[in-house]
Structure formats: structure tokens, C-alpha cells
Structure 1
Amino acid sequence: MAALDLHLMASVFGILGTIVAFLVYIAPLPTFYWIFKKKSTQGFPSLPYSVALFAAMLTLYYAFVKTNCLMLIVINSIGCFIESLYLIMFMTYAPPKSRIFTAKLLVLFNISGYGLILLSTSQIPNALLRFKVVGWITIVFNVCVFAAPLSIMRQVIKTKSVEYMSFPLSLCLTLCAVMWFFYGLLIRDLFIAAPNIIGFAFGIAQMILFLVYRNTKKAVLITRIWSK
């Protein structure tokens, strides 16, 4: 009975995590609608989207290596598709310098880096060892996803403006981290639970920063959003 209850709770947290993660993925839609209307990226960074795509690709690979991870496969497949669309639109409207930088990021991380990880880990004959290696790599890059907003946080501190930060998105990211942490904890998967501790901390930090600077003279309260 206890095992059944744990399985049920894990399923609930997994479903909630999937829903919140989907909301996080579609949160930048107002930003990209604004970019489409202005035909310019006007200062928005591409790094969070590139890193988020890479992490989704990596987590998807981890889910296939682990097996029986339907929720991870579904949400990260959706994530890969949505982040790819964002990056295509970013590349379309970015100035030449930003476009070149983004292209380098994609080649370095999303093509070369992912290909190298895929090729090297697929050569590991022991299935358990391969699972652990892919798991640790996934932890590292999922932490990078949560750390990606540091560039925006630095910009907020520098300009004393929350123009490029969204409180609802920060809240969703924090809730997402909580849901996936408990999901990982309940199914006893360190590789899912661990990075979400960092995600929770960064989410709280972003919300605090937003509250500190939201009433400054330079603050412009809009929902221009970066995306996980």
C-alpha cells in the first residue's frame, strides 16, 4: 500500500511538473510576439533559449537511457520543439552580431556538444554505467539552465530595471523546480531531484530581485520573458 501511495504521489508531482514546465516553455510567447511586431530582438539574449534547448535534448536522451520515463519524454520533446521555434525567430530578427553569436552557440552546444555526448556515451558497454554517466552530465547542464538567467539578473542590477524580467515566469520556474524535485525524490532518482534544488534557489533569487527593483524609477513592468 505504501509503495502504491508513493507511486501515486510521484505520478501526481510528475503530471503537475509537466503542466508547469509546459507553461514555462510557452511563457516567452509575449516576448516573441513583441519581437515579431518590432522586427528586432532589441537586447534580448539568446543564451537562455540555446541552453534550454540543449538541456531538453539531454534530458530527453537521459529519459530514453533510463527507460519508462514517459512524462520526461513528452515534456522534453515539446520543449525541444518550442525552443527550436524561439531560436529560429530570434535568428530571423536578431542583428548580425547577435545572429553570429547565436549560431556559434548552436553549433558549439546543440550540435557538436550533444553529438559528442551521444557518441561517447553510446560506446559505454555497461548499461548501468552509461545511465550514471548520462545522469551526471544531465545534472550539470540542467543546473546551467537554471543559472542561465544570471545574465538577466546582472542586467537588472546594473540598470535597476525589471524590463527584461518576468515575475510570473520566475514563479513558474520555482514551482516547476519544486514539482520535479519531489517527483525525483519519490522515484528515488538523484539525477532528476538534485538540479531542481539549485533551480528552486535561483527561482527564489529572481523573485526577490524583481520585488527589490520593481518600484524603481527605471522599472518598466512588462512581461518580456526568457525560457527552460
Structure 2
Amino acid sequence: MALHQHELAFIFGILGNIISFMVFLAPVPTFYLIYKKKTAERFQSYPYVVVALFSCMLWIYDALVKNNATLLLITINSYGIIVEVTYLAIFLFYAPKKLRSQLATIKLLLLLNLFGFEAILLSTLYLSHGNTRFQILQWIRLVVNISVFGTPLLIIREVIKTRSVEHMPLIHSMFLTVKAVMWFFYGLFLKDYFIAVANTLGFLFGA
């Protein structure tokens, strides 16, 4: 018996959750190395942690705004917030106090995750309603989702400079690519084309 589109969306949503779980865990070796060395050295946290944390926050808010809040998205992104906050705490604790990346992380954390998210909440809750609110969130989510896939490219300069992929684990990029494929089909079968488009671009970045 042929599966209906919503059933296929649910299957790819489950697969997307599993792969997303692996994506969140992929940086564990890097942060274990930071813990072991007791220093973050030249590691840049904002591509992996700050932007990913903001994305998780936005996905949960977007899911809650919808009348049919998607449990799959809420579950994995709640887990993602816990993991990313843990990574962030490890980085800030072990980063040299005068390291530029530490200051950049704190600034971006305040700008994006505090003031940026608060601005989105205020503008969508009080300045827009109904379909307009939904459309605004969809476009913001699209941009942020693309950023999550694109920000690891910022590490390439450091990789070229040091000739080491220590802080850009290939397994993380691999899981991001597979994740994009799973969530693309989830969005396609759910007819949420914002999810599908964002993950199409995510696949291209990962490839």
C-alpha cells in the first residue's frame, strides 16, 4: 500500500531527527580535545555554536506559532539548545581571555541570541498577525537555516592557514549534508517549501 505524503513526511522527519542528533554530537571530539588541553586555542565557536543555538531557538518558536506545532521539530531543537549551551560554556571557560574569537562569540551571542531573538519575538507577536506573522518567520527561518549550513565555510580560512582540519571535523560536514537531504524530503512531503529550499541550499553548501 502506497504511503501518503504525511506518512512519508513523518518518516523523513524521524530520519532527520536521528541525523540532527548526530550533527549535534559531531563536535564532541573537538570539545573533548579543548577540555583535555585546557585551552580553546584558535577554535572559533560562533560558526558551530552561536548560530546553531539561534537556529534551534527560532525553530522551536516557529513550531509553537503554528497551530499544528510539530513535535519532531520541537524535540530535536530542544535537545540542540542543551547541547549547544554546553559547548558554549566549555568554549568560554577554556578560551584565552584576550582571544578575539572569544570576544566575537560573546558579542554575537548578545547581538543574535538575545537582542536579535527578542526583536523577532516583539515584531512577530505584536506588530504582525496571522499569515503575515507566519510569512515573516518563514523568511527569517530560511535565512538562518542557510546560515547554519554556510557558517562552517568560515573555518576554511583557518584550515588553509594551519593546514589542519582539527577544528573542522569532516564528520560534522558529512552529517550536515545528510541532514539537509532528510529535511528536504520532510519539507517536500509536508509541502513546507521554505524547509525544502533551505535544505536544498544546505546540501549544496555541504557538498
In which range does the TM-score fall when normalised by the shorter chain? over 0.9
Matched, 1:86 2:87: yes
Q: 1:131 to 1:34 in 2, by over 3 A?
A: same
Which runs of 4 or more aligned residues in structure 1 lie more than 4 Å from their structure 2 counterparts after TM superposition? none
Query: Can you give the 5+ residue segments of structure 2 that lack an aligned partner in the other structure?
Result: none
Matched, 1:50 2:50: yes
Partner of 1:195: 198
Bigger mean CA offset, 58-67 vs 177-186: 58-67
Give distance in 2, aligned partners of 1:85 and 1:198.
Answer: 28
Give distance in 1, aligned partners of 2:65 and 2:40.
Answer: 37
RMSD of equivalent CA atoms: 1.5
Bigger mean CA offset, 188-197 vs 163-172: 163-172
Give distance in 2, aligned partners of 1:130 and 1:71.
Answer: 22
Matched, 1:139 2:142: yes
Partner of 2:9: 10
Residue by residue over 1:25-70, the C-alpha shift from the partner in whole angstroms, topping out at 9 and shown as x without a partner, is: 0111111111111110011101121011011111111111123311
Deviation at 1:125, TM superposition (A): 4.7
Tell me the number of residue pairs that the alignment of Structure 1 and Structure 2 aligns.
203
Q: 1:99 to 1:156 in 2, by over 3 A?
A: closer
Give distance in 1, aligned partners of 2:35 and 2:165.
Answer: 21
Taking structure 1 as the reference length, the TM-score comes to 0.84
Deviation at 1:72, TM superposition (A): 0.6
Indicate conservation of the 8 Å contact 2:17/2:72, yes or no.
yes
- Local SS of the residue matching 1:194: helix
- Local SS of the residue matching 2:167: coil
Give distance in 1, aligned partners of 2:150 and 2:121.
Answer: 23
Deviation at 1:142, TM superposition (A): 1.0
Give distance in 1, aligned partners of 2:128 and 2:170.
Answer: 46
Partner of 1:76: 77
Indicate conservation of the 8 Å contact 2:180/2:200, yes or no.
yes
Deviation at 1:151, TM superposition (A): 1.3
- Local SS of the residue matching 1:163: coil
- Local SS of the residue matching 2:41: coil
Deviation at 1:154, TM superposition (A): 2.4
